């Protein structure tokens, strides 16, 4: 567009207007920070220009003008969980029990789907983030495992996840049932969530089975976490605990 490379407030404001019509305006500020960081070695006033009142007001104005409403995914409710649990029988397949165990674990512990499965694209998989079988402990009323580092874990320390039974659903016995089948089928596999084929469960594997429950729902990877947070709020849990 024949604009000068010098990141003056005017040039940066043109960039904000242009990008806000192509991506979510809330992300434009991050793009701008990255660009100014790279240009600061050539233009010493790049950061100062980015912090000018013109740029701040331009970012705020484009957020009001071009932002799209937040589209919340449908949460998984306790009724959905009970439907899945009640569908199990003594003859249920390994796959069905694995899906139920993952669903209950994710919902009862406010975990993201990406923390229990691996991406569908093999190039994006990082097995350092996959839950290991050797971290699992089971007692009389709950079970726990070690969640390796994840996107919210800035210090890469991991988290100890303890899951008791919730809302009248015996997630403890279902997890033990899955663990027994998994240990019998794959005693030397290093990971916890393993499909009948011996591979770690993927996002697509889980979502296909989730949509079989109610095909017309708007469920996504955040639905487990959203459902658990909603249920905790309904039970009177303080907001700071839910967060």
Question: pTM of the prediction?
Answer: 0.70
Over pLDDT 70: what percentage of the chain? 93
Domain boundaries, the chain: 9-66, 78-242
In which residue ranges of the chain is pLDDT below 50? Answer: none
Q: Give the pLDDT confidence of 206-240 residue by residue, as tens digits.
A: 988 888 877 767 777 777 777 777 777 777 777 76
Calculate the average pLDDT of the chain. 85
Q: Tell me the per-residue pLDDT of 197-209, one tens digit each, with 9 for 90 and over.
A: 999 999 999 988 8
Contacts 24+ apart (CB under 8 A), 144-148: 145/192, 147/111, 147/115
CATH 3.10.450.710 assigned to 78-242: no
Q: What is the pLDDT of residue 222?
A: 76
Q: How large is the greatest C-alpha to C-alpha distance in the chain, in angstroms?
A: 71
Q: How many CB atoms lie within 10 A of CB 2?
A: 3
Name which of 38, 39, 41 is nearest 8 in CA terms: 39
- Residues forming beta bridges with residue 143, ordered by sequence position: 138, 163
């Amino acid at each position: 567009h024949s604009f000068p490379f010098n990141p003056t407030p005017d040039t940066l404001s043109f960039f904000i207007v242009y990008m806000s019509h192509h991506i979510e305006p809330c992300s434009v500020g991050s793009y701008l920070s990255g660009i100014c960081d790279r240009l600061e070695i050539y233009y010493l006033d790049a950061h100062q220009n980015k912090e000018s009142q013109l740029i701040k007001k331009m970012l705020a104005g484009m957020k009001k003008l071009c932002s799209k409403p937040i589209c919340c995914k449908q949460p998984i409710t306790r009724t959905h969980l009970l439907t899945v649990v009640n569908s199990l029988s003594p003859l249920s397949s390994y796959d069905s029990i694995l899906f139920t165990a993952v669903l209950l674990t994710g919902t009862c512990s406010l975990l993201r789907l990406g923390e229990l499965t691996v991406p569908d694209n093999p190039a994006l998989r990082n097995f350092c983030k996959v839950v290991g079988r050797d971290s699992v402990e089971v007692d009389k009323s709950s079970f726990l495992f070690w969640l390796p580092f994840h996107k919210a874990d800035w210090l890469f320390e991991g988290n100890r996840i303890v899951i008791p039974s919730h809302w009248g659903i015996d997630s403890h016995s279902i997890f033990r049932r899955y663990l027994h089948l998994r240990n019998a089928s794959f005693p030397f596999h290093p990971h916890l969530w393993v499909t009948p084929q011996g591979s770690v469960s993927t996002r697509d594997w889980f979502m296909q089975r989730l949509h079989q429950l109610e095909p017309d729902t708007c469920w996504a990877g955040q639905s487990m976490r959203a459902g658990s947070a909603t249920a905790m709020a309904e039970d009177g849990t303080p907001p700071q605990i839910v967060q």
